[in-house]
């Protein structure tokens, strides 16, 4: 016998119970709204105003209009464009590498094997290590003179590398370091894999599909929304990249790791040009917004959403 669901009766707007529920609802969401206003939108509006001022940090800001944006593309355009180009190169290396590694890890951890929960925890554990500790550890491991990586390669009679000390390998080395923090994307991929219906695989096997065809024609299409989500979030976080080059390379050698946020940091706290730094931050915000909108605009061509009826 089917269970009949009776809809909850709506309360009239003039009743005391309706207004009590409304007030309670707004009180519950009030902390979130205050947090957004005070700690997100408030600082954003303040930085927008500072981007229109000459603010040497030790004096009061003086309104100069769009001069900071003009100077960014006239007087300091070489440094800005170079740091932006380095950031784009890093994103082109880091985002596909991280997406591929996290997907492969999720596929391996999606097996129904004894002790699989231990391996899932072990793969995620590096993510909870503080970022500064991780950076110092890898700085020691990749040291060209006494680092453990080169020492291991020497014992195996394999060629060593300068890693972070050579312009040709510094930026790829930083992109490889990002594999240490693939835990969140891996967990999201794992959730997406476990949400794929087993009936689809069973139907494919009945039709004689191989494991490779099952992956290309079932797993990837059904996982495309998850890939899309990790792609967008990964791109946003990549353009905010700062800590490893700041600690390990200081933008060197030969400005090969001089990412955009490092340039912004120096403008604000080394040269005390807080207004220019705020203008650079808003320019980066505009770039991230445009790239995100372009990705969303083209998502219909490669993202499949299952419609349940």
59 belongs to a structural domain? no
The pLDDT score that the predictor gives to residue 256 is: 95
Residue 230, token pair as written in the block: 């990790």
249 vs 261: CA distance, rounded Å: 14
Give the domain extent around 151: 79-301
pLDDT of 112 strictly over 90? no
The pLDDT score that the predictor gives to residue 309 is: 53
Q: Assign 305 a pLDDT band (cuts: 50, 70, 90).
A: confident
The proportion of the chain whose per-residue pLDDT surpasses 70, expressed as a percent, equals 94
296 belongs to a structural domain? yes
Which 3-state string (H, E, C) describes 27-80? HHHHHHHHHHHHHHHHHHHHHHHHCCEECCCCCCCEECCCHHHHHHCCCCHHHH
Residue 11 or 146, more confident: 146
Please answer whether residues 84 and 288 qualify as being in contact, where contact means their C-beta atoms are separated by less than 8 angstroms: no
28 belongs to a structural domain? no
Residue 153 or 6, more confident: 153
- The tens digit of pLDDT for each residue in 250-293 reads 999 999 999 999 999 999 999 999 999 999 999 999 999 999 99
297 belongs to a structural domain? yes
The pLDDT score that the predictor gives to residue 155 is: 92
What pTM was computed for the model? 0.88
* Lookup result for tokens 């509006």: 45
Residues in CB range of 209: below 8 A, 6 or more apart: 217
Which residues make beta-bridge pairs with 63?
Answer: 53
- Other beta carbons within 10 angstroms of residue 276's beta carbon come to 26
87 vs 238: CA distance, rounded Å: 8
DSSP per residue, 173-231: HHHHHGGGG-HHHHHHHHHHHHTS-HHHHHHHHHTT--HHHHIIIIIHHHHHHHHHHHH
49 belongs to a structural domain? no
pLDDT of 302 strictly over 90? no
62 belongs to a structural domain? no
- The tens digit of pLDDT for each residue in 205-227 reads 998 889 899 999 999 999 999 99
Work out the average pLDDT over 191-205.
91
Q: How far is CA 168 from the centre of its chain?
A: 24
Enclosing H/E stretch for 257: none
Residues in CB range of 291: below 8 A, 6 or more apart: 235
- Other beta carbons within 10 angstroms of residue 203's beta carbon come to 12
Work out the average pLDDT over 94-122.
92
CATH code: domain of residue 124: 1.10.3720.10
74 vs 72: CA distance, rounded Å: 6
Residue 275, token pair as written in the block: 């207004």
Please answer whether residues 183 and 126 qualify as being in contact, where contact means their C-beta atoms are separated by less than 8 angstroms: yes
Averaged pLDDT score across all residues of the chain: 90
Q: Assign 11 a pLDDT band (cuts: 50, 70, 90).
A: low
Q: Assign 307 a pLDDT band (cuts: 50, 70, 90).
A: low
Q: Assign 16 a pLDDT band (cuts: 50, 70, 90).
A: confident
The pLDDT score that the predictor gives to residue 281 is: 95
The proportion of the chain whose per-residue pLDDT surpasses 90, expressed as a percent, equals 72
56 belongs to a structural domain? no
Q: Assign 22 a pLDDT band (cuts: 50, 70, 90).
A: confident
- Cα dihedral 71, 256, 283, 271 sign: negative
54 belongs to a structural domain? no
The pLDDT score that the predictor gives to residue 43 is: 92
pLDDT of 1 strictly over 50? no
- The tens digit of pLDDT for each residue in 39-87 reads 999 999 999 999 999 999 888 999 999 999 999 989 889 999 999 999 9
The pLDDT score that the predictor gives to residue 245 is: 95
Q: How many domains does the chain have?
A: 1
């Amino acid at each position: 016998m089917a269970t009949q669901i009776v809809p909850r009766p709506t309360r009239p707007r003039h009743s005391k119970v309706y207004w009590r529920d409304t007030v309670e609802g707004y009180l519950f969401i009030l902390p979130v709204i205050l947090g957004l206003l005070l700690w997100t939108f408030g600082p954003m509006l303040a930085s927008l105003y500072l981007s229109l001022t000459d603010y040497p940090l030790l004096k009061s800001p003086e309104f100069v209009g769009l001069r900071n944006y003009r100077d960014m593309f006239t007087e300091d355009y070489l440094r800005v464009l170079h740091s932006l180009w380095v950031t784009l190169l890093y994103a082109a290396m880091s985002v596909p590498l991280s997406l591929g590694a996290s997907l492969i890890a999720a596929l391996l951890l999606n097996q129904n094997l004894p002790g699989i929960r231990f391996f899932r925890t072990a793969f995620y554990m590096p993510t909870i290590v503080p970022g500064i500790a991780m950076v110092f550890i890898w700085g020691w491991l990749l040291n060209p003179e006494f680092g453990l990586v080169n020492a291991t390669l020497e014992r195996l009679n394999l060629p060593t590398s300068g890693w972070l000390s050579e312009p040709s390998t510094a930026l790829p080395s930083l992109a490889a370091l990002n594999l240490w923090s693939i835990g969140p994307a891996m967990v999201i991929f794992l959730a997406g894999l476990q949400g794929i219906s087993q009936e689809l695989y069973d139907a494919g096997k009945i039709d004689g599909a191989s494991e490779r065809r099952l992956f290309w024609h079932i797993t990837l299409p059904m996982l495309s929304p998850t890939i899309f989500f990790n792609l967008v979030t990964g791109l946003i976080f990549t353009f905010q990249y700062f800590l490893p080059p700041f600690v390990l390379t200081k933008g060197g050698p030969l400005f090969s790791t001089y990412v955009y946020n490092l340039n912004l940091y120096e403008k604000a706290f080394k040269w005390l040009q807080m207004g220019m730094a705020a203008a650079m931050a808003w320019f980066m915000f505009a770039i991230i917004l445009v790239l995100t909108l372009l990705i969303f605009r083209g998502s219909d061509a490669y993202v499949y959403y299952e419609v349940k009826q």
